[in-house]
Amino acid sequence: MISDRIRQFFVLFFVIGFFIYLFGPLIIMGLTAFNTSAFPRVTPWECFTVEWFEVLANDKRLLEGLRNSFLIGFGVVCFAVPLGLAGALMLMQVKDRVRPWYYTVVISPILVPGVVLGISTLLFWDRVGLMFGASRDSIFYNGFFLTIVGQSTFIAAYTMLVFISRLQRFDPAQEEAALDLGATHVQSFRKVLLPFLKPAIASATVLAFLASFENYNTTVFTSIGTSVLTTVLASKVRYGIDPSISALAVSIVVLTIFGAAMHEVFKRREEAEAKQAGLVAAGLQEKKKVQRQWFVDPAVIIILLVFIAGLGTAFFAGTMGVDECKVAVKEQKQAATKKRVEALQKRNQEREAAEKAAAEAKRLERSQRTGTENFNTIFSNENLKPQPGKKADTPRTGTENFSGIFDSGNLQQQAGQEDEAPTGTENFQGIFSSDNLQQQSGQEQPETEDANQ
Helical ranges in 168-243 per DSSP H: 172-180, 185-188, 194-213, 219-222, 229-239
Q: Kindly give the confidence (pLDDT) of every residue in the chain, 453 residues in length, as a single tens digit, with 9 standing for 90 and above.
A: 677 888 888 888 999 999 888 888 888 888 888 888 888 888 877 877 888 888 888 888 888 988 999 999 999 999 999 999 999 999 888 888 888 898 999 888 888 888 999 999 999 998 988 888 888 888 888 889 999 999 999 999 999 999 999 988 888 888 888 888 888 888 888 888 888 898 899 889 999 999 999 899 899 889 887 888 888 888 887 777 788 888 888 888 888 887 777 777 777 777 777 777 766 666 655 545 545 555 556 666 666 776 676 666 666 655 556 667 777 777 888 888 888 898 999 999 999 889 888 888 888 877 766 555 555 566 666 666 665 655 555 555 555 565 566 566 665 655 455 445 555 555 555 565 556 555 554 454 444 444 443
Q: Residue 280: what residue type?
A: V
Contact status, residue 105 vs residue 90, Cβ threshold 8 Å: no
CA gap 63, 165 in Å, rounded: 37
Q: Which pLDDT belongs to residue 453?
A: 37
CA gap 392, 384 in Å, rounded: 13
Q: Which pLDDT belongs to residue 393?
A: 53
CA gap 13, 33 in Å, rounded: 29
With CA atoms as reference, report the closest residue to 124 among 109, 108, 146: 146
Question: Where do the domains of the chain lie?
Answer: 60-242
The region, left, alpha or beta by phi > 0 then psi within -120 to 50, assigned to residue 398 is left
CA gap 85, 436 in Å, rounded: 140
Q: Which pLDDT belongs to residue 175?
A: 83
Give the other-Cβ count within 10 Å of 223's Cβ: 23
Q: Can you give the pTM of this predicted structure?
A: 0.65
Beta-ladder partners of 48: 35
Residue 420 is classified by DSSP as P
CA gap 154, 93 in Å, rounded: 22
Question: Both ends of the chain: CA-CA distance in Å?
Answer: 160
Q: Which pLDDT belongs to residue 268?
A: 77
Contact status, residue 121 vs residue 106, Cβ threshold 8 Å: no
Polymer length of the chain: 453
Give the other-Cβ count within 10 Å of 317's Cβ: 16
Q: Which pLDDT belongs to residue 185?
A: 85
Pick the CATH number of 60-242 from 3.30.559.10, 3.40.630.180, 1.25.40.10, 1.10.3720.10: 1.10.3720.10
Reduce the secondary structure of 318-385 to three states and give it as a string.
HHCCHHHHHHHHHHHHHHHHHHHHHHHHHHHHHHHHHHHHHHHHHHHHHHCCCCCHHHCCCCCHHHHC
Q: Which pLDDT belongs to residue 239?
A: 73
With CA atoms as reference, report the closest residue to 154 among 83, 225, 221, 226: 83
Helical ranges in 94-142 per DSSP H: 99-111, 114-132
Residues 6+ apart with CB under 8 A from 208: 73, 76, 77, 80, 81, 84, 155, 158, 159
